[in-house]
Structure 1
């Protein structure tokens, strides 16, 4: 019996995951990716002998014992002999000459926070209680929610009892509300250094909790290497990947089912099923008509207050020194660098000294990230119309940042060089990212109780959605989980067992 063929649009983490599980489930699978390499936003590139890593700060699911870890192993993202790098701190925040660090040793963090601000002791202890709850939280990844039975939900509720209490206690609050519980300006600042003020209040405790659990390690080699391992796994199972293959349309037949995809070069690829693991903004209005978009997803695109997105201005610097003065990731003020109100007055500086292969011997690479509001997208897209002005503005900001770093870290003075700069335009060009953002919508206190959009498309039964936009705020774990779920959804349509 001839195998049914699944065509996957997008070779990012979700598409690669879907591809591996499709092959494991007995389908024929092909991936079509517009870029020259796989990985989507989980990527990196080389500049002047240095490697710029553009995604993983740490990866949830690196610790054994979770459904998510099993997914990473299944798809080749993690391998038995792969080293997982464990940092001793999440990040350090500095403000007005003071600094505080979030250590993997949460007791040390708690003590240092109380030493910094004794008047905040009660709220600090409450925050650390939340963090310790987050330490034991697991991300459900066994089967799609609509396929879970009553017994499944009872078991899930039992395993997440403490986590649900945390959600209930912080219900209706966002990170700004959490910040306002504290008196010390640095403690307020360090919370919004990691989570946007509009993010839900439990976001920080859950992420820091994951970090201290040891489940958030960094796979040796970084983001691009992980995507390439997944590619090798997919191809070893018989999958086919076509890069530089820009999909421009899903062809719909007279019976209302999709017959295949059309490429920019005019080629038509037939398919029994199509998985759109690309950005949903590209799926609806480009690949298929926008009228197919379900009401929940449409609300996410129209209600900007409830579902904001963000952006980033990023810079990579080479450093002609092997002295690691940063020691991880540090957050600093940068209010004298702001181009407009949509640009953050804080910046993250990250050292990649833990990856000596990213730089020539005796040198290192550091990268800077400055957060942007979504209005920044229009500014950068307009500026990009004049390539010289676009490049000039990027260099102007990058040089100001270079000066700021040299002032703070005198060990680097005269030893730094700009390697590359990138903006929301970069993510739009290479990944068709909505407003140039490399994650999904932010869930806020105005949208926390709303449902997630359907992965099925009403009116086209053989097209299924995957990717991080189905489960905001997205990220690599969500992308992988939704890739797996897309195959389980097809298996259900085939009236087969969803166990892969």
Structure 2
């Protein structure tokens, strides 16, 4: 089996293939595994890009079982948080979002007593979600045994009204009923920024999982997670060829028979899995010759429509000497004035999120230092057009973003500018360049319509394309956003292809008990060292693209 892409889904397909007795090989265009679950290094710093929280960190559920099978959490501790996020308005007014329903209710009531009825209703439903165990990550619906379907129905049916209410109500519509405009806006930014078209159910589900201890930050962060899965895959006998860009999938008589790399080198296999960008798969790897009505709808109707893709990010990493005050939240969303927001190129929302990454991931900053990650949702074309048409202007614009972020942090924490030692800026064009994700979308879809199509891709189409045998898809474009869904899509694809090949599917947990250590990351990738120049705040800070 050949797999295109060594992201989490690709390595999951490979790992389950190896467990099931198949010989697998992954071709990856980058120098490291992980896809969007990534980071890079510079001078003793690790700029961890991906995980804000991971679902499945507590034993005893199917999400955690997937991670145990993939070795993702082997030997690692997990940092959990009692407060998910804090939101601060331009006038300094703030509200926090504890994961405990009782504390959350008290916090929200203190913020807006006039909205008591809505607040109590929201928190009552959150309490109901904490009592549910819903982790559909082990088996795709067509292959799920009847007894497991009945067990799921036994969980879902008694909570039908809860799911109907939470799944059928958009957060924007719910918050529009609040009398306090600040709290209404803050609720929409509970998960750092406002996705704009989410229903209540992902808020209830994620907060409930966090309260139950099943959401957290694994030791080693994003690169650590990817490296652990890579180690598991290679220990099972799998092989990854890095710096190997696949140019096309080879098709003979309606069957995928291998791949051709850029440069013309060909490799043949009994089965091919594309665990990479779906648009590139259809348009480039398959040359537009093979698709499906479901995938066509996703790529030609849903993708071009405004607001259907998860927004891209601009991320500014700031490394400082020392730390911020202990009472500072690990994550804070700051609403910005019109004037400040105008200084963030491509900004889609008037906000800036500040994560204290080194509080959540030990060892990513040198001893005695701290790392902040400041980001905002951004338009893709603003950055792509600049990088393509005027590289000098692109770099200057990145410097402008860095300068504003340092100035803003100085307002929040006077004197911090004198402690800055590193500044790294990543744009949507950076994300597209290193991961291949269409338009730099970090989690693929945020569309209810896309969710329905994903269900069809998994259930009816079985992650395959009509008229093309020996081929499957995996990844967040066809399996849904989030790392656990990416991993699950790999598990599903492996089950489907094993069925097609007549091979029994096997899944066994990793037995690696070695304690995790940063030395296991190996050599860290570096972004382009295109410049080292003065950032207009504090002492000299090194910047990169």
> Shorter-normalised TM-score: what interval?
over 0.9
Tell me how many residue pairs correspond in the alignment.
488
* Native 8 Å contact 1:191 1:204 kept in 2: no
* Native 8 Å contact 1:428 1:434 kept in 2: yes
Match of 1:439 in 2: 443
> Which digits, 9 at most, give the CA deviation of each residue in 1:69-96, with x for residues without a partner?
11101111011x3111112211111113
More moved, 355-364 vs 222-231:
355-364
Q: Please give the alpha-carbon distance, in whole angstroms, between the structure 1 residues aligned to 2:184 and 2:58.
A: 31
Q: 1:138 aligns with which of 131, 134, 141?
A: 134
Match of 1:188 in 2: 184
Name the TM-score, length of structure 1 as normaliser: 0.93
More moved, 35-44 vs 379-388:
379-388
Note if 1:463 corresponds to 2:471. Answer: yes
Match of 2:272 in 1: 274
Match of 1:262 in 2: 260
Q: Partner of 1:490: helix, strand, or coil? A: helix
Shift of 1:132: 2.0
Shift of 1:340: 6.1
Q: Please give the alpha-carbon distance, in whole angstroms, between the structure 2 residues aligned to 1:286 and 1:122.
A: 53
Match of 1:103 in 2: 98
Note if 1:343 corresponds to 2:348. Answer: yes
Q: Partner of 1:313: helix, strand, or coil? A: strand
Match of 2:238 in 1: 239
Q: Partner of 1:77: helix, strand, or coil? A: coil
Shift of 1:265: 2.8
Q: Partner of 2:36: helix, strand, or coil? A: coil
Name the TM-score, length of structure 2 as normaliser: 0.85
> Which digits, 9 at most, give the CA deviation of each residue in 1:368-415, with x for residues without a partner?
11012xxx2122111002221111111102211211121112362432
Q: Please give the alpha-carbon distance, in whole angstroms, between the structure 2 residues aligned to 1:228 and 1:250.
A: 27
Match of 2:394 in 1: 390
* Native 8 Å contact 2:345 2:397 kept in 1: no
Q: Please give the alpha-carbon distance, in whole angstroms, between the structure 2 residues aligned to 1:417 and 1:399.
A: 14
* Native 8 Å contact 2:330 2:357 kept in 1: yes
Note if 1:314 corresponds to 2:349. Answer: no
Match of 1:360 in 2: 366
More moved, 102-111 vs 217-226:
102-111
Root-mean-square deviation (CA, aligned residues, Å) is 1.9
Q: Please give the alpha-carbon distance, in whole angstroms, between the structure 1 residues aligned to 2:495 and 2:199.
A: 30
Structure 2: runs of 5 or more not aligned:
508-545
Change (3 A) 1:341 1:26: closer
Match of 2:83 in 1: 89
More strand by share: 1
> Which digits, 9 at most, give the CA deviation of each residue in 1:339-381, with x for residues without a partner?
5675220111000232341111111110011012xxx212211
Q: Partner of 2:230: helix, strand, or coil? A: helix
Q: In the TM superposition, what are the counterparts of 1:380-459 in structure 2 within 5 Å?
A: 380-385=383-388, 386-410=390-414, 412-444=416-448, 451-453=455-457, 454=461, 455-459=463-467
More moved, 27-36 vs 298-307:
298-307
Note if 1:204 corresponds to 2:207. Answer: no
Shift of 1:102: 1.4
Match of 1:485 in 2: 492
Q: Please give the alpha-carbon distance, in whole angstroms, between the structure 2 residues aligned to 1:48 and 1:462.
A: 45
Match of 2:330 in 1: 328
More moved, 146-155 vs 378-387:
146-155
Match of 2:42 in 1: 47
Q: Please give the alpha-carbon distance, in whole angstroms, between the structure 2 residues aligned to 1:165 and 1:218.
A: 32
Q: 2:292 aligns with which of 287, 291, 294?
A: 294
